[in-house]
Amino acid sequence: MKRSGAWLIRYALEQVGVRYTFGIPGVHVTELYDELNNSDQITPVLVTHEGGGAFMAEGFSRTSDSIGTLVVVPAAGLTHAMSGVGEAFLDGIPMLVIAGSTRRDTGFSYQLHQLDQQRLMEPLTKKTYLVVEHKDIVPMIYEAYRHAVSGEPGPVFVEIPVEVQLFRGDVGNLQTYQPLITEKAVEMESIDQAVELLKTAKHPAIFAGWGARDATQALISLAESLGAPVATSLQGLSVFPASHALHAGMSFGKAAVPAAQNAFKDCDCLLAVGVRFGEIGTGSYSIDVPENLIHIDINPEVFDKNYAAKQAIQGDATVILNHLIGKLADIRHDTRRHGVEAQIKADKAAYHQEWLQHDAKDRVNPQVFFDALSDALDDDAFLVVDDGNHTFLAAELFPVQKAKHFISPTDFNCMGYAVPAAIGVKLGNPGHQVAAIVGDGAFMMTCMEIVTAASLNLGVIYFVFNDGELSQISQGQEIPYNRKTCTVLGKVNYEGVALATGAELVLLNNNQAAAQAIEQAMQASKQGHPVVVDVHIDYSKRSQFTQGIVKANLGRFPLKEKIRFISRALTRKVTG
């Protein structure tokens, strides 16, 4: 049987359950786009920029039962997409990246878009593939997909030269996709040793990350049995419901909210689940980790990287937690639990009140905004954030109730993520509310992708936190430098952006307008219209995270350099 390479790619993608592809067609993938257009299962989505397409694919992968898939032209299209691919790589999100490449059958060099793409993508993906024969297309895409979704997930790259796509070749019998079922046996000796550590602990605590996203019920059961407070990483913010009395907050060190700091201050045994102890999750490594650290992760490479584990256990979080629960079934520390819950409740109430009492003057108090947003959204709504000051305010002030419903760029930490990622989330979850919080600087990077949302009738709401600065960095500049270099933005007409992209505009200028403005945006989104809400946010009060990491980073400076920085800051405060 002879088939074109483009037909075979479409067939393989349909077999592995691809529902959307994202990208921009070009001469090296036009045949493939024509085939995708023939598919009853796959919808090719035209994006404004391949970088936005990669973020859409990443957001779609995080929140749906299908894999985000990019189809891009070689070289320029692929390099444009690399930020989204990098985000998926460092955050552990599966993605198929498919690119054409120049012809290999002509003997000519210096062709349009000619580049060594295998070398380019090798450090940014789990694995790269180059297909040069028709018979290899289907099995290689199957292998690439399995690799993307197995173990710690991540992006894979498949390169298919244009002549293979265009021309027909012999393929033999086409195979249907068969998922590989591989379940690594858990080392029960490790489980038993972890159980002993937890049994003898006086103040156990749990730190959970994105790797625990499918283990929420097991986390709840174990936390209640142990009477243990639960903190999360930023990326794992949604894995434990904020409404639970043992939920303490994001992180637990000096950059964490008071509830988490107090709940973890006497921790003598830490159970870390699906978390890598990265810079953000640890508040720039400002946490105190006890000697008795039990670290569970599917990827053994994360063990002992930043904090030595007394007991490391490789495997699926749900499977391992259920083993622990079974062996701790007769353990109930209700007195300890009630004491921890009471402290957390009091600390949360005090922190909430502290924010409400902050005078935002003629702008919007972040706590007032997040309270109004929480009241307006369903518990199963998706909240997508970008990278910036708003990210950590959302982490501290917005209660997330459902796993995988808070989406954040984390370790790659790329600005410009939220606008396109929210589109991917909405495509994967059309029956759910999808709202994005994005700083004005990040919004400027990718706001034209709202054209894609408008063309697809996607009612995504974009709350733009508008203060005229790159505030996370400008606040970081303020203390040591007493000046703001390249962090004050040019003036943006958000009404013009909304008009240009087909969105509706809502203004939110003060606290009194919060509930009404959010409701107005909700109503417009129900009609399938993307909405831009211009939020005149007040950033004069800093998040606990921002304050904590500034101190943590300065604290690690050599003494002489610390004195130099502090002296310079004081001098500039006096002299201006």
Q: Where in the chain is the domain with CATH 3.40.50.970?
A: 2-170, 358-545
pLDDT at 477 (0 to 100):
78
Helix (H) or strand (E) holding 249: strand 247-250
CA 36 to CA 21: how far, in whole Å?
A: 9
Q: Does residue 382 register a pLDDT over 90? A: yes
Q: Does residue 466 register a pLDDT over 90? A: yes
pLDDT at 472 (0 to 100):
83
3-state secondary structure of 82: helix
pLDDT at 430 (0 to 100):
96
Which CATH number applies to 2-170?
3.40.50.970
Q: Does residue 566 register a pLDDT over 90? A: no
Find the mean pLDDT for residues 113-134.
94
**Phi-psi region at 500: left, alpha or beta (left = phi > 0; alpha = psi -120 to 50):** alpha
pLDDT at 265 (0 to 100):
95
Query: pLDDT tens digits, residue range 409-449?
Result: 998 989 999 999 999 999 999 999 999 999 999 999 999 99
Query: pLDDT tens digits, residue range 397-413?
Result: 999 999 999 999 998 98
* Sign of the dihedral through C-alpha 276, 281, 284, 289: negative
- How is the chain split among helix, strand and coil, in percent rounded to 5? 45, 15, 40
Query: pLDDT tens digits, residue range 73-89?
Result: 999 999 999 999 999 99
Find the mean pLDDT for residues 470-488.
82
Q: Does residue 184 register a pLDDT over 80? A: no
Pair of tokens at residue 429: 């979850």
pLDDT at 573 (0 to 100):
79
Contact 478, 484 (CB under 8 A): yes
Q: Does residue 339 register a pLDDT over 80? A: yes
Find the mean pLDDT for residues 358-367.
96
> pLDDT above 90 covers what percent of the chain?
82
Q: What is the DSSP letter of 407?
A: E
Query: Which residue type occupies 500?
Result: A
Query: Which residue type occupies 247?
Result: H
All residues at 6 or more sequence positions from 109 whose CB lies less than 8 Å from its CB, including other chains: none
Q: Does residue 476 register a pLDDT over 80? A: no
pLDDT at 574 (0 to 100):
78
Q: Does residue 179 register a pLDDT over 90? A: no
pLDDT at 516 (0 to 100):
97
Q: In what order do the strands lie in the sheet with 247-250?
A: 247-250, 230-232, 204-208, 269-273, 293-297, 311-314
CA 277 to CA 339: how far, in whole Å?
A: 27
Pair of tokens at residue 75: 């070289």
Strand partners of residue 231:
207, 249
pTM of the model: 0.95
Average model confidence (pLDDT) across the chain: 94
pLDDT at 49 (0 to 100):
97
Q: Report the C-alpha dihedral over residues 564, 566, 568, 570, rounded to 10 degrees.
A: -150
pLDDT at 72 (0 to 100):
97
CA 541 to CA 467: how far, in whole Å?
A: 13
316 confidence band (pLDDT: 50, 70, 90)? very high
Three-state secondary structure readout of 60-77: HHHHCCCCEEEEECCCHH
Which of 3.40.50.970, 3.40.50.620, 3.30.70.580, 3.30.390.10 would CATH assign to domain 358-545?
3.40.50.970
Out of 61-65, 178-182, 239-243, 495-499, least confident range? 178-182
pLDDT at 264 (0 to 100):
98
Out of 89-103, 159-173, 399-413, least confident range? 159-173
pLDDT at 154 (0 to 100):
98
Q: Where in the chain is the domain with CATH 3.40.50.1220?
A: 188-347
Out of 421-425, 472-476, 507-511, least confident range? 472-476
Q: Does residue 478 register a pLDDT over 80? A: no
pLDDT at 492 (0 to 100):
92
Query: pLDDT tens digits, residue range 525-560?
Result: 999 999 999 999 999 999 999 999 888 888 888 988
pLDDT at 333 (0 to 100):
87
Find the mean pLDDT for residues 562-571.
84
Q: Of the candidates 44, 37, 54, which has an alpha carbon nearest to the alpha carbon of residue 18?
A: 44
pLDDT at 60 (0 to 100):
98
Find the mean pLDDT for residues 159-171.
91
Query: pLDDT tens digits, residue range 250-294?
Result: 999 999 999 999 999 999 999 999 999 999 999 999 999 999 999
Query: pLDDT tens digits, residue range 289-299?
Result: 999 999 999 99
All residues at 6 or more sequence positions from 462 whose CB lies less than 8 Å from its CB, including other chains: 418, 419, 422, 435, 436, 438, 443, 450, 503, 530, 531, 532, 533
All residues at 6 or more sequence positions from 97 whose CB lies less than 8 Å from its CB, including other chains: 54, 69, 70, 72, 78, 81, 85, 121, 125, 155, 156, 157, 158
Q: Does residue 576 register a pLDDT over 90? A: no
User: 188-347 belongs to which homologous superfamily?
Assistant: TPP-binding domain (3.40.50.1220)
How many residues are given for the chain?
576
